[in-house]
Chains A and B, each alone.
Chain A
Amino acid sequence: MSLDSTFTPVPERHVLAKALANRSFLVGLVITGLVAAMALVSFFWTPYDITRLAVAERMQGLSLAHPFGTDHMGRDILSMIMIGARNSIAVAIVAVGIGMGLGVPLGALAAARGGWADEALMRVNDVVFAFPALLTAVMITAIFGPGAVNAIIAIGIFNVPVFARVARAGALSLWPREFVLAARAAGKGAVLITVEHILPNIASLLLVQGTIQFALGILAEAGLSYLGLGAQPPMPSWGRMLFDAQTRMAVAPHLALFPGLAIVITVLGLNLLGDGLRDVLDPRIRRER
C-alpha cells in the first residue's frame, strides 16, 4: 500500500464519462461557457453602443428596450455588463497565466531539486503569503498607477506562490513513487522525468487550482476596480459599475443589482466547475461508513 495520501493520478479515459455525470461540473461548465460567450459576442455586437452617452435616458428602470435599465449617463447596463465581462475574464486569465507560468516551474524545480532550493522557495512563499493580498495589490496599482495591466500584475503576483505550492506538493508526492524510480533506473534525468511523468500527472491538480484562482481573480479585479484602481473609464468594469451605483442606491437600486449578479454568477460558475473537476479528477474513492 502506498503511503502517500495526497492523490493518485487517474487515466484520462474514464474522465469524460464521469464528468458528464457530474452535476456541479455540467452546471459550472454551462455558466462559464455562457459568460465567456457573452464576452466574445460583445466584441461584435452589444444591444447599444456604450460610448454614446444619452443623458436623457439616464437611470431608467427595467424595460423591453433596456432589460437591465440604464446607468447615470444613460448607457445600457446589459451592454456594459457584456463588455465588462471581457475585462474581468482577461484580467483573471492573464493573472492565472502569470501564476501558473512562474509558479509551476518553480514548484516543480523545488520538488525535483530538494535541499536548499526547495527551502529557499518555501521561505520566499512564506514572505509573499505574509502580505495581505488585496492591500499589496492596492499598493502596487497606486505606486505604478491604476489600470488593467497593473491590476493583472498585482493579482498575478499572488497567484505565483499558490501555484508553486500546489505544483511542489503534487510533485513531491510523485517523486518517491515507483514509476518515477523506474524512469530514473531507465536513465532519465530530472528535467525529462518532470516533463514526461510529473507535469502530466499534476495537471489535474493545477487545473482545479486554476479555476479556483480564476474565480478569486474575478473577485479581486472587481474589488480593485471598485476602488478605482482597475480598468479605467470609459472601459466598463463590473466593479466600477458597482462604485457608480453605490451613491445612487436609494434612487436606483437596480444599478447595483445586475453588475453584482454578474460577478456572483461568474464566480459561482467557476467554483462549480472547479468542484466538479476535483470530483471527476480526484480518484480517491470516498470510503463511506
Chain B
Amino acid sequence: MTAFVLKRLAVGLLTLLAASLVVFFVLEVLPGDPARIMLGMNASPEALHALRTEMGLDRPVALRYLDWLFGMARGDFGRSYTYSSPVLALVAERLAVSLPLALMALALSTAIAIPVGIYAAARHGRPSDTLAMGLAQVGVAIPNFWFAMLLVYVFAVGLRLLPAGGFSGWGVGLDGLWQGVKALLLPAVSLALPQAAILARVTRSAMLEVLGEDYIRTARAKGLPRRKVLWRHGLRNAMIPVLTILGLQFAFLLAGTIIIENVFYLPGLGRLVFQAISQRDLIVVEGVVMLLVAAIVLINLLVDICYAVVDPRLRSSR
C-alpha cells in the first residue's frame, strides 16, 4: 500500500514538473517578449526596459525557469504586476470564495446524483428510471452559465430570495456565514446541476454493469434478497467508475468557476485568472494555473488511494 502511494506520488510530482515546463514555455517563451505582452504594443522603451530588468528577462530562459520553479517550491509565486502584491496572498484571498464554491457544488452534485443513479439502476427499465434518465440527459446538455442566468432571473430578479451576484465576504458569526452561503448558493447550484446529471448517469450505468456480473448471481444464490445484494455487493464495485468521474469533476468544477464567477461577479480564483489574462499579468496566470494543476494532481492521487481502499486487487499488485 505504501509503495503504491509513493509511486503515485512520484508520478504526480513528475506530472507537476512537466506541467510547469508547459506553462512556462507557453506563457513566457512562445509568444516572444513577455514584457511587451504585459505592457502592450504602445509601451515606451524605458518602461519596457525597466520591466525586463524587474522580471529578470535579460537572464537566460533556463535560469528564469529554474528561479520560478524553486521560488514556487519555497512558496514564493512572485509579485503581481497589476495588483503589486504577492501572488500567493492574492490567491489565498480568492480561494476563500472559490474553494467553498467548488466544494459546495461537489457536495450538492454528489448528494443528488448518487442516490438518483442507484435508484434508477434498481428500477431499471421502469417509468421512474426512464424519467430520471431523461432529466439527466437534458441536464447534461445545459450550459452551466445559461442555467445560472435562468436561476438569477427566477430567484433573484423574480422571487428576490437570493442575491443576483457579488460577494461581501464571510463576515463574522453565524449570520456572516449565512450571508456567504447565500451568495454562493445560486453559483453552486448552477455548477452542480449539469455535473450531477453526468454523475447520475455514470452511477446508474456502473450499477447496471455490476448487477450483471456473475458474483451478483452467486450472492442471489445464497438467498439474499435483491435489495440486499444491490447494497452489499453492487455498490462497492460500482464505486470504482464513479470515483473516476468524481475526480474529473472536481477539476472541471475548479475550472468551471471561471465562467460562473463571471456570471455572478464573484471575486474568486476564476475571476482573478480571467482578469490577469486580460491584463496580461503573466506571473499571476502562471501561479494560479500551477496551483490548479497541483490541486488536480492531488485529487487524482486521492482518487487513486480511494481505488485501492475500495478494490483489494490494486492494493497488492503494482
Contact = CB atoms under 8 A, between A and B. Distances in A.
Interface of A: 123-124, 126-127, 130-136, 138-140, 142-144, 215, 219, 222-223, 226-227, 239, 242, 245-246, 249-250, 253, 256, 259-260, 263-268, 271-272, 275, 286-289
Given A271-B140, A289-B211, A134 B149 contact: no
A253 B146 CA distance: 12
A219 B198 CA distance: 14
A110 to B, nearest CB: 17
B255 A271 contact: no
B157 interface: yes
Nearest to B148: A246
A242 B258 contact: no
A260 B148 CA distance: 11
Given A130-B296, A242-B149, A227 B259 contact: yes
A127 B258 contact: no
Give the top 7 A-B pairs by smallest Cβ distance, nearest first. A132-B255, A267-B141, A142-B277, A260-B146, A268-B141, A134-B255, A135-B255
B143 A260 contact: yes
B31 A249 contact: no
B22 A127 contact: yes
Interface in B104-149: 124, 137-138, 140-143, 145-146, 149
Contact of B259 (A142, A223, A267): A223
B83 interface: no
Nearest to A135: B255
A153 to B, nearest CB: 12
Contact of B274 (A123, A130, A227, A288): A227
B316 interface: no
Nearest to A269: B141
Nearest to A268: B141
Contact of A264 (B141, B211, B289): B141
Contact of B143 (A223, A245, A249): A223
Interface of B: 11, 14-16, 18-19, 22, 26-27, 30-31, 37, 124, 137-138, 140-143, 145-146, 149-150, 152-153, 157, 208, 211-212, 216-217, 220, 251-252, 254-256, 258-259, 262-263, 270, 273-274, 277-278, 285, 289, 292-293, 296-297, 300
B293 A219 contact: no
B31 A144 contact: yes
B262 A286 contact: no
A266 B141 CA distance: 8
A142 B37 CA distance: 11
Nearest to B208: A286
Contact of B140 (A143, A245, A246, A267): A267
A289 B220 contact: yes
B146 A123 contact: no
Nearest to B279: A142
A243 to B, nearest CB: 9
Contacts of B285: 139
Contact of A131 (B19, B150, B258): B19
A215 B141 CA distance: 8
A265 B157 CA distance: 26
21 contacts: A130-B15, A130-B16, A130-B19, A132-B255, A132-B293, A132-B296, A138-B274, A139-B277, A142-B277, A143-B30, A143-B31, A215-B141, A227-B274, A246-B149, A253-B153, A260-B143, A263-B143, A265-B141, A268-B137, A271-B141, A286-B208
B19 A127 contact: yes
B293 A130 contact: yes
A81 to B, nearest CB: 14
B30 to A, nearest CB: 8
A130 B254 CA distance: 12
Contacts of A239: 143
A256 B142 CA distance: 13
Contact of A222 (B14, B37, B143): B143
B145 A223 contact: yes
A134 B256 contact: yes
Contacts of A250: 153, 157
A143 B281 CA distance: 11
B249 to A, nearest CB: 11
A222 B145 CA distance: 9
Given A135-B273, A286-B208, A286-B212, A260 B150 contact: yes
Given A226-B145, A253-B153, A289-B216, A131 B289 contact: yes
A289 B259 CA distance: 44
Nearest to A222: B143
Given A124-B18, A143-B27, A250-B157, 5 more contacts: A126-B15, A133-B255, A135-B258, A223-B259, A246-B263
